[in-house]
Structure 1
Amino acid sequence: MVLISGVEKNSLAEEKGVKKGDKLLEIDGKKPRDYIDYMLGTSRPYFELLIEKQVGGQRRRLNFNRSYGDRVGLEFEELIFDELKTCQNDCFFCFVDQQPPDVRDTLSCKDDDYRFSFLKGSFITLTNLADMEYQRIVENNLSPLYISVHTTNPDLRQRMMSNKKAGRIKSQLEYLEDKGIKFHVQLVICPGWNDGEELDRTLDDLLNYSNSLLSAGIVPVGLTAWREQNDIKCFDAERARKTTARVKKWQKKSRELYGENIIFLADEFYLLADESIPEEDHYLGYPQLSNGIGLTRLSRNKFREKQKNLSRSNVVNSEVNIITGELGRQALEPVFAELDSIEGLNLKVIEIENCYLGEEVTVTGLLSGKDIIDEINSRDLKGYTFIPEVIFNDSGLTLDDLTLSDISEHCGGSDVFSCSGIEEVLEVLYDGESDGSYCRKA
């Protein structure tokens, strides 16, 4: 049974008397395994739901007659109703295994579930899929999927993932392509392992899946201070330059074969190599934004577009503090320079060192609340202070379980905002508020 966490207003379910706290037991006589079953089962013109009422426990069979555009309206806290499929690999570069021992359970959970891949864009390895799950993917056309490939060399993939099943990746991709399932792939690159000629081999293999491959994202391995072994290194400027130069050749080949580039480097490579961030048309609609691919270009462009459309000439508050990580500062340097040129504005960009996970972790999204507090405690903050929304999860918690309010208590007399984009910062500066859906005031 699945707990119903909410019911949309003016929906079919509300008309039938379904309430928050009721439970969904069956759809047309079958127990739903996940949100996919719910979507497919309630997309038909006629269907029946078995509901257990919260009050009294009475079970009711509700028949629905659904017209085009009608919303059934049930909401659930979880997307997976049965057991979550977890990772069966033991990758030596796994970021989840490199976290502090006291992290909350959701941060230490290693999911590898094809349903999350389809519904949320989570990357999966395909090593734990049974035949019946492949069959379901094909029958329900669960496309596109997001797949962690890392390398197409069977022996190397087995060693990197410590799983004998990992060597079947090419035949698995061939099967999915043959069945019409499209996919995005990611390659987490570990220097000395799957870079160099091995990366060439992988990209050469991947470009053969012309009917299914939508994008290939190349990201650098992330290493924290909690890593027990010192067997791999982070990317430095020289390695980043070599990898960038190598990938550019494959991007050219992609354009020759596909008519467009589908191979993308994470922004971190360009920033480490001190190379220019590609323009927007390079990113083909940003298919792997969550992987840090194209985020810098998108942020810069959104800022400049917002800047053009602002009608006011004077900022509301002259004192501005922006919290960021090392890579965030590098990525937005041109934007910070433009902000600093605004007449009457006193801008302070406060770069936070990541002590929680280690100094090698430089992305802004992995900053802890405590590291931010430790830095701002020594400062007399005034005016507006902006904290990136990306450091908070859907429940409003940082990696170390602090909230925006917790952090704001250490910001002196400053008004504290959490913003998802630099363009929202600009709105607050000129209007005192933002209409952005992810901008909130502490």
Structure 2
Amino acid sequence: MSKQHAGVILRIYPGSLAEELELVPGDKIVSINGQELRDIIDLSFAMADEEIDLLIEHADGEQEMISFDKELDEELGVEFESAVFDGIRNCANHCYFCFVDMIAPNMRGSLSIKDDDYRLSFLYGNFVTMTNMGPADFKRIEQFHLSPLYVSVQCMNPELRAQMLRCKGAARIAEQLDNLERAGADYHTQVVLCSGLNDGEELERTIREIVARRPHAQSLAIVPVGITKYRTDPFPLTQFDAAGAARVIDQVEKWQRKIQQEEGRTFIYLGDEFYLLAGREVPPSEFYDGFPQLDNGIGLTRNFINDWEKTASAAAAYDEPVYLDVVSGTSVAPMLEKLAASLPKENLHVRIVPVENDHFGHTVNVSGLLTAKDIMRTLDGLEGRRTGILIPESALRSGEDIFLDDVTLQELQAHYPDARIEPVQGGRDFREALSGWTTYHKDRQGETAYTWQSNAGYTKNIQY
């Protein structure tokens, strides 16, 4: 078995079986009970046995067989450098709207990974087009009960889908969904909506055909296309304006009301940006049916507000004046302004700082794609006192204190020596930071280091 197919250990959990076996970061798991491992799915099933023969390759290249007994449900207790040991299955499509192709040049390589791997779809909710999947993949989905998956549908018109993805095989979307259903898998679906392309009557057809696939189809998310200034694709794309966003909301609401009457849930959800763009209130919590596509930017604003409202405030006043600058993308700044204004507190002065995204272009308005340089440019242009700075945690690489432009949080802090900088993620963090700044600090040490870029990755970053 080649080395690239081994699982490289990144971290050992304290008190775990792996620690007891004296495994260390850098060790590679080559096989379990003679079974070669393609990914953590294989590993999980192989570790279900009680008697284990674990073949390890150490950093010096020496291999060692470790045999031991374990409880049936006892886990190894490690984190791997990658969830897939045989390499991420890349996307071979050339979609009109591919956000990865719009990433700025000379940024870290991981941002340019175009994954289209059904295993990452199952494990992390990444959306896949299924254009690179064959019979063996659907057989494995059935064998290991890999459900639910997340599918980038884009449209159900086969000719249009093949055109949008620039892939002849993309026309087989209905057949591939049939294959998933025969494999016993449920799935969530997504449409990246492009004005004048797959909206209007095409969106109507897509909704109609996906709705007909219930209950295997568990949800349908519709998100607006995002465009950066680095897009070079010759096909013309237009982002939605306020009037266009309102038309989409009105069109989809008819279906939402119909499905709510049929089965008491919404099933179809719009990306938060449609509501923010149209100047409409985001729907109430019950509208989101438990937020099944929260990681796709569906309901993040409402979820943020909910977390804020459920969080108790600290003491009523500060002994000394506190001046907080709250950094955010331009889309959510009005919502943050409204929440901060609802928290009157003596000696607390909050300034919401919406940052125009010069790095990717001003059409990109989400917090998660802000760079440190844009943040510093904006903050440096402000006058007045500054006790602390709140930054969106989504702008930092998962598990690391580093921004998209490779500036570290420590470097940003060094630029503002007189103001403490704290990352904030949800509504709870935001409220606790405002109401208890003197003691507020979020420990990020335990966060996972797994981070995957998907073709619709920008939709995951609308949160504060």
TM-score tier, shorter chain, comes to over 0.9
Q: Distance in 2 between matches of 1:283 and 1:40?
A: 33
Contact 1:49 1:62 in 2 (8 A): yes
Correspondence 1:102 to 2:101: no
Q: Look up the equivalent residue of 2:323 and give its one-letter code.
A: E
Aligned mate of 2:44, from 20, 36, 39? 39
> Which moved further from structure 2: 290-299 or 184-193?
290-299
> Which moved further from structure 2: 182-191 or 287-296?
287-296
Contact 1:280 1:298 in 2 (8 A): yes
Aligned mate of 1:410, from 393, 415, 418? 415
Q: Distance in 2 between matches of 1:205 and 1:269?
A: 22
Report how far residue 231 of structure 1 moved: 0.9
Q: How does 1:175-194 map to 2 (within 5 A)?
A: 175-194=179-198
> Superposition RMSD on alpha carbons, in Å?
1.9
Q: How does 1:397-436 map to 2 (within 5 A)?
A: 397-431=402-436, 432-434=438-440, 436=442
Correspondence 1:170 to 2:179: no
CA deviation profile, 1:147-171 (whole Å, cap 9, x unmatched):
1001011011001000000011111
Distance 1:335 1:438, change over 3 A: farther
Report how far residue 197 of structure 1 moved: 0.9
CA deviation profile, 1:61-108 (whole Å, cap 9, x unmatched):
223322255232232111110122100111011111112221211111
Q: Look up the equivalent residue of 2:393 and give its one-letter code.
A: E
CA deviation profile, 1:220-278 (whole Å, cap 9, x unmatched):
00011112247111110000000000000111222234331111001111111111111
Contact 2:275 2:282 in 1 (8 A): yes
> Which moved further from structure 2: 215-224 or 426-435?
426-435
Structure 1: 4+ residue segments shifted above 4 A: 435-440
Q: Distance in 2 between matches of 1:111 and 1:199?
A: 25
Aligned mate of 1:256, from 261, 266, 272? 261
Q: Distance in 2 between matches of 1:204 and 1:437?
A: 46
CA deviation profile, 1:300-340 (whole Å, cap 9, x unmatched):
1111211xx2352223652111001111203334213214x
Aligned mate of 2:84, from 80, 87, 97? 80
| 2:458 aligned partner | none
| 1:238 aligned partner | 243
| 2:53 aligned partner | 48
> Which moved further from structure 2: 366-375 or 255-264?
255-264
| 1:66 aligned partner | 70
Contact 2:221 2:269 in 1 (8 A): yes
Q: Distance in 2 between matches of 1:235 and 1:139?
A: 42
Report how far residue 9 of structure 1 moved: 2.6
Q: Distance in 1 between matches of 2:38 and 2:72?
A: 25
| 2:452 aligned partner | none
> If the length of structure 1 is used for normalisation, what is the TM-score?
0.94
What SS is found at the alignment partner of 2:332? helix
| 1:379 aligned partner | 382
Q: How does 1:208-223 map to 2 (within 5 A)?
A: 208-223=212-227
Q: Distance in 2 between matches of 1:123 and 1:46?
A: 36
Correspondence 1:124 to 2:116: no
Report how far residue 142 of structure 1 moved: 0.8
Q: Report which structure shows greater RCO (CA 8 Å, sep ≥6).
A: 2
Unaligned ranges ≥5, structure 1: none
Contact 1:372 1:407 in 2 (8 A): no
Q: Look up the equivalent residue of 1:137 and give its one-letter code.
A: I
What SS is found at the alignment partner of 1:398? coil
Aligned mate of 2:371, from 356, 368, 372? 368
| 1:11 aligned partner | 16
What SS is found at the alignment partner of 2:36? coil
Q: Distance in 1 between matches of 2:444 and 2:23?
A: 30
> If the length of structure 2 is used for normalisation, what is the TM-score?
0.89
Distance 1:69 1:439, change over 3 A: closer
Contact 2:337 2:352 in 1 (8 A): no
Contact 1:207 1:213 in 2 (8 A): yes
What SS is found at the alignment partner of 1:315? strand
Contact 1:419 1:439 in 2 (8 A): no
> Which moved further from structure 2: 413-422 or 375-384?
375-384
What SS is found at the alignment partner of 2:259? helix
Q: Look up the equivalent residue of 1:164 and give its one-letter code.
A: K
Q: How does 1:246-395 map to 2 (within 5 A)?
A: 246-306=251-311, 309-315=312-318, 318-339=322-343, 341-380=344-383, 381-394=385-398, 395=400
Report how far residue 36 of structure 1 moved: 0.8
Contact 1:52 1:58 in 2 (8 A): yes
Correspondence 1:142 to 2:142: no
Q: Distance in 1 between matches of 2:62 and 2:228?
A: 52
Unaligned ranges ≥5, structure 2: 1-5, 447-464
What SS is found at the alignment partner of 1:94? coil
Q: Look up the equivalent residue of 2:41 and give its one-letter code.
A: I
| 1:112 aligned partner | 116
Report how far residue 207 of structure 1 moved: 0.7
